[in-house]
Structures are given as structure tokens and as C-alpha cells.
Structure 1
Amino acid sequence: MRLYLTALKPTDSVTDGFLPAARALGCDVTILTDRPERHPGAIGCDVRDPRALIDAIAHLGRPDAIFSNSDHLQVETALAADYFGLPGKDWRACLAAKNKFLTRRALAEAGVERVRSLRLGPGDPVPDGLAYPLVVKPREGVASEDVMLVESDLAGAVAGIRRRRPGETLVVEEYLEGPLRTLETLGDASGVRVLGGFETTLGPLPHFVEERLDWSPARPDGHVLAALRALGVGFGACHTEYVVTPAGPRVVEVNYRVIGDHCDFLLADLLGVPLFEWILRAHLGEPVPAVPEPRGHGSAVSLVADRSGTITAAPAEEAVVTGDVRLWHRPLRSVGEVVERTHTNRDFLGVIRAVGPDRDRVEAAIGGYRAARPWVIE
């Protein structure tokens, strides 16, 4: 079986998740990327252009599957899969999910939910008279970059983002107050399976840095699944974030790929299944198996820089067993590296994921590890 995987920069999800899974399935993998120097054995291609992507694949040989886990390449990859008649996502759904303005419009037109929202093009004036608080964000942003809560001066917030991101379109919407949750799904040709979800803990406002996620397997009331259907999202892996407001769940954003920040590995640990293989099997035209009931509790804690400076001490990559809790630490930075604090997910120094019988024991293991092996910035 020949699998083409489109990618931009290397990620742990691809390097340690999908590539080993593809090998386990017996796939002959070709990585297509605009950064071939960063992927061993990869082939250079303008993967942001579906015409170039289709041309490259046609030249290299008939595919059995075309797949991407990149936020930025879902539309292009879906178009290529459709061209070759392969299982894949609907490119329209990929576009509507990635573009936060289109997400809001599609959900409103379907009558699923209405969240006050407007689009600000690069030259559009900032309107007066909007009801605060508001959230302003890049229309197609990732990693919480330039996502801000605004309580009084929208024009000033927009001007600051435009200085950092000239030429980009922004979205301004009402602030959704309440607990932040995720829904993880995996679909095949027959329908969508709910894998579970997480409770998300954010850092201090006005920024929206996701500092930890804790397993929360309770099924949603159907609102989020209805929103996904309205967007056309179903096939393959999807990570949806939503807020439980006093008026009910409201979608924050739909990320049409598997959850990141090592929560994909945590999800596989909790379910006890080869999750990355399951996702690839769907793209190879195979059915998704029945989802087992998870056992125990799991948490993923991002170790966030609280200041700018130089990293002078840090724990290594390791796996630790503490009683009946399994814990993994993955450093994302190195000793000697200079950190410039950005108030985004780019401030992550490392991530801890842990699985155990219950939340108390998992929390105790994480706390003990952090106390014994701190990251130090000076």
C-alpha cells in the first residue's frame, strides 16, 4: 500500500505517531513537503498548492491513501484524495473548519447556534458600538497566537495584531464564558465515533494559553455533533473545542485533525488502542473499530515559561512509573535556549502526560515529578 503524507514542519504526532503506525500497517510512505531538508527521505513539493500536489503524486505513482495531520494542509490534501478517488475528507468541510468566519456562518445558517461574530479584512475599519467583552483572533490562526480577550479597546487590540500580522484577516466575536471542553471524534464511511473528550485549563486572561487537559469521557448532549454535521465534518480524526455556556454548548473552533500537544498519545494510552493506525486505516478505506470504554484517568500538562530568559536546567525525555501511574515527559526546548515569552502555546517548554487509576493519583504523580525535576529560566 502506498501512502502519501503531506507535511510542513516536523511534529511529534507525525514522527512518533503516524509514521510508525504506517510502517506497522505495511505502508510504503512518501512524505511530500515544502521543507524536505527537515524530513529524512522526503520529496519537495509545494504542498499548499493542490495542483502541484496532484501533479507530484501522479508522477511518483498511484496512491492508496493521501493523508495529512497539518492544520494548514487539510483542504489541499482532501482535494488530492478526491482527485484520485480515494477516501478522504470533504474539502469544503476542511475549509469551513479552518476558516473561523466560515465556521460561524455555516453554524448560523444551519440553525445550530448563533454567536455574534464579524470579519475584519486587512483594510476594514474597526466598528464602534459592539458589546464587550469580545474575543479577537486571526481568521485561520493556530496555537492561541494573537487570540485576545478585549474588554474595552477593540481598536487598540486590532491595531496591535495587525502590526504583528500585516495583511491577515481577523475575526471578532462575543466572549463565550464557561468551562472549556473538547470532543474527539473519528469517522469512516459509515459514520462518526466519539472517542471521548478533555476538560481544558487555560492560563490567565486576556490570553488563551491551554495549560493542561484532563480526561473527561462524558458524552456531549449532541449539540457539538450536530455542529460537525452542519459543517460536513465527519470522516477522519477531528478535535473540536467548545464552551459550556449558561445557554448550552457553543463551538469555539473545529480542528479537522487529531488533537495535538501530546494529547493524541494520551488518548491512545487511555483507550488502549493503536489510535494512529486507526486513523490511517480510515484513509485506507477500512472501517473504524468499536471504541472501548476507557479506564482510569489521564492528564496532559504543558510546562509553560512564566518569563523570558535562558533555560539553565531542564529534565530529559523520560518515562517514569510512580506506583500505578505511568508518566512521560517530553522536552520541547533545550538547556541554553533563549525563551521569548509570547503568551501563546509557543511558550511551552515541555509536556507531561500521565495515566493512572484515578485523578488524585495522577495529580500526585505529576506534582511530584514537577517538584523533583523543574525547568529553570534565568
Structure 2
Amino acid sequence: MTPPTLVLVESNTTGTGRLFARRARELGALPVLLAEDPDRYAYAREDDIPVVRTDTGSLNAVLAAVRAVPGAVPAGLTTSSDYFVPVAAAAAHALSLPGPDPQAVRRVRHKGSQRADLVAGGVPVAAHALVSGPEEALSAVDRIGLPVVLKPTDGSGSMGVRLCTTRQEAAEHAARLQARTHNERGMPVARDFLVEQYVAGPEFSVEVFGQRAVAVVAKHLGAAPHFVETGHDVPAPVPAAQADALTATAVQAVKALGLGFGAAHVELRLGPDGPVLIEVNARLAGGMIPELIRAATGVDLVRAQVTAALGRPVDLEPRSSHHSSLRFLVVDAPSELGVLPDTGGLPHVTGTTLTGRLGVRLVPHHDYRDRVAHVTATAPTAEDATRAAETALARLRTALRPHPDEETTV
């Protein structure tokens, strides 16, 4: 009997991208990856995953590719990449496969439309304005008040997001955003962007599946004016009342946006007056958050997402109550990466993963691309897990050294 096929429309190049294919095989399905550039996915070659070269930005091309896979019986179609959630949802709908509402996903993907739906649903969001150039941005700054955050409407992984504390900074960054034509994958970008009031306070994510909150995650961020995520703690070490407020706001946001199938990654700040919604992503979290949740609670969100895409019942029941932490090794100056030191002898450390390339010139991009390795730890207490991850990170930092002939200004 021919196994059912799970079609993946692109994916994350590391981490959960590989895990999606592995979980599909564990569930008896054949993963098939559609990719515009198959060379982007080393894991597909290493794991012998069939790859079909496809214009993944085109719904018609995706549908044609699915129908042309020899002997395939498509049982599901999904993606782990933020950029391809809309086309994957539309393709699943066209093929009568399980998936989210394509129209809702399309509106969520554009942060301006998303904000409008959140406001209409009564979800607390920061004061904001959708603008298309420096002059409009400065008018918005004058209305909202400094400091503000400027961000693309269709970005991902902190790309193009910047805190501006003066009108000049806002004007300069607005000009940079207006000049962008394509993202790091070569896809055309929206020309409008958001100006948002800066919300002071700690940042969290709530991982929602369907309309059920699964975990509250504490985030660690790099230095301003950028918003590079440098680590995560699961569950977030906050009082129960704060966790409840965060989860209630996240679920309210998911409902207001018309979501309810599969995973949603909901980002919030805990401001002086309570939770404020930063943004919702209609996909599974990146940054290895699903693996932290699995280590801490036993809930496998990657498996759940694949299971839902295949139209099967999902298991979200926790089986343990540990604490897990992750810390990223981040490039913050021109440098190169040497061999990672061994962290295996440290208590509670569960793994060290290299994601960057050894011996090549590295310069900061001020987004997710600056993360070149990470370490994870799981322990009975939050204190032990965070201490272990930070101790291991200190050891990993010795692998970064100045590039010998680096004179580039960033």
C-alpha cells in the first residue's frame, strides 16, 4: 500500500523544518518538500527527503507540483516557514485538505491588517499607524510619541524591526524600510510598514494550538535598538495570575483573527497595565521553542502540527512538569566561528547545536541570522535550567573570535 504524502511547502532551513519531515515519517507518511531552491535544504539531502523544484510563491505552481508527484496520495499540506503560510493554506483548501482559513491567514500575515482585526476584536494592542514612507512615519511618530518601533508589515525573525528614540532615527529607518524590495529569500516585500508605540516590559510568547494555550514562554532579547531573540524559558517563570492573563489575551487574539486550526505563535509584552499583543503568527514557533516545550511538558507541537495536517486527532496532554531553557550564541561583532567547545559535562545541559558555518566571515544582521549555535538545558526547577543554559553559553562564546582580516563597518 502506498503511504500517504505530507507535502511541505518550503520550511525552516534548520531546527523544526527537519523535525516536520521526521515526524511525518514516524506517523507513516512520506514527506515531500516543494522548494524554489532545493540547495537551501541540506537536511533534505542528508535525510533522503524527496524535493520537487517549484515556484513556491505561486499557488498554481504549488498545486501543479502536488498533482505531479508520482504515485503520491496527498493526505496533508503544510509549512513551517512564516513566509509560505498563506500559499500553503490556500493550496490545502484548494485540495480539500485540512488547514487554516486561507483568508484569515492572509490577513494575519500582513501586520497592518492583523492590527485592524485585533482592534475590532477588542484585543489590547499598542498605538500604531500603517505608513508608506518617511513623511508619513514622522507624522505617526508625532501622534504616537517617542519611543516607537518601526517594522515591516510582512517580516519575520526580527528582520527590519528597530526601536527609534528620536525623530531622526525614525526617519532614517523609515527610509531603509521604504527602500527594501525583497526579503532574504528573494521574495518581493510589501512597501508599507508599521510605526508602533514602544511597550516597556518583559516579552513572552504563548503557544496556542487550535484555540487552546499550550505554554507560556519567557523571551530574552539582545541589546536595543534591535529585537534579536537570544533565549527562551519554558514555562515562563511568572506568577500564575500573570500567566493566566497572558494566555487569556493570546486566545482572545487567535479568536479575533479567525484562526483555530493548528499552531499559532502569539507574542506579547507585559506592560504596566497588563498584556499587550505584539503580533500573531499563524504557524508553529521557531527558535526551537517546540523542542523546549516537548522537553518540559512532553507535548510535541511539531508532531501535533503534522498530525493535524494529516487530518488525525491531536494529543496535547502534558506528561511532565520540568523546566527547559535555551540560549543562542549570537554574532554581535564581525567575527568567525571555530569549533564549539564540549558542554556535555555540565549538569542539566541536554544539547549543543551548531547552525552557523565554521571559519567564514560573520557580520551582524541584527535579526535571527545572527544566531549561529544554541544550547538547551532541562531541570526540575527554572533556576537550575536557566543557570545551566547560561553557563553553557558562556563556554560557547569562546568559539567566536575576531575575523583576521575583517574591516567591514556594519
- The TM-score with structure 1 as length reference comes to 0.91
Q: Contact conserved, 2:332 with 2:363, CA < 8 A, in 1?
A: no
2:37 paired with 1:13: no
Pick aligned residue for 1:248 from 267, 274, 279: 274
Q: Contact conserved, 1:195 with 1:291, CA < 8 A, in 2?
A: no
Q: Contact conserved, 1:319 with 1:327, CA < 8 A, in 2?
A: no
Describe how 1:179-198 pairs up with structure 2 within 5 A: 179-187=202-210, 192-198=211-217
2:339 paired with 1:314: yes
1:68 is displaced (CA, Å) by 0.7
Amino acid corresponding to residue 211 of structure 1 in structure 2: T
1:89 is displaced (CA, Å) by 0.8
Cross-structure match for 2:351: 328
Cross-structure match for 2:221: 202
C-alpha distance in 1, partners of 2:23/2:9?
15
2:232 paired with 1:232: no
Cross-structure match for 2:85: 74
1:345 is displaced (CA, Å) by 2.0
Change (3 A) 1:308 1:286: same
Pick aligned residue for 1:51 from 53, 56, 60: 60
Change (3 A) 1:20 1:290: closer
| Structure 2: segments with no counterpart, 5+ residues | 183-189, 403-410
C-alpha distance in 2, partners of 1:375/1:206?
25
Q: Contact conserved, 1:314 with 1:334, CA < 8 A, in 2?
A: no
Amino acid corresponding to residue 213 of structure 1 in structure 2: H
Q: Contact conserved, 1:34 with 1:44, CA < 8 A, in 2?
A: yes
Cross-structure match for 2:112: 101
Cross-structure match for 2:405: none
C-alpha distance in 1, partners of 2:96/2:250?
29
Which string of whole-angstrom CA distances, capped at 9 and with x for unpartnered residues, describes residues 33-89 of structure 1? 111234433001111111211122223344111111110111111111111111101
RMSD of aligned Cα (Å): 2.2
Which string of whole-angstrom CA distances, capped at 9 and with x for unpartnered residues, describes residues 249-301 of structure 1? 11111122111122221111112244322221111112222421641211111
Pick aligned residue for 2:391 from 364, 368, 375: 368
Amino acid corresponding to residue 238 of structure 1 in structure 2: A
Cross-structure match for 1:285: 311
Q: 3-state SS of the aligned residue for 2:66? A: helix
Decide which structure has greater strand share: 1
1:113 is displaced (CA, Å) by 2.8
Cross-structure match for 1:260: 286
C-alpha distance in 1, partners of 2:100/2:107?
12
Q: 3-state SS of the aligned residue for 2:244? A: coil
Amino acid corresponding to residue 161 of structure 2 in structure 1: V
C-alpha distance in 2, partners of 1:140/1:74?
12
C-alpha distance in 2, partners of 1:87/1:321?
45
| Structure 1: segments with no counterpart, 5+ residues | none
C-alpha distance in 2, partners of 1:35/1:319?
35
Change (3 A) 1:126 1:369: closer
Pick aligned residue for 1:145 from 136, 159, 164: 159
Which string of whole-angstrom CA distances, capped at 9 and with x for unpartnered residues, describes residues 152-176 of structure 1? 1222221233345587321111111
Cross-structure match for 1:337: 360
Cross-structure match for 1:170: 193
C-alpha distance in 2, partners of 1:103/1:168?
16
1:238 is displaced (CA, Å) by 1.5
Amino acid corresponding to residue 165 of structure 2 in structure 1: E
C-alpha distance in 2, partners of 1:11/1:145?
18
Q: Percent identity?
A: 27
Q: Contact conserved, 1:261 with 1:351, CA < 8 A, in 2?
A: no
Cross-structure match for 1:84: 95
C-alpha distance in 2, partners of 1:278/1:376?
36
Aligned length: 370
Q: Contact conserved, 1:101 with 1:117, CA < 8 A, in 2?
A: no
Change (3 A) 1:372 1:121: closer
Change (3 A) 1:82 1:294: same
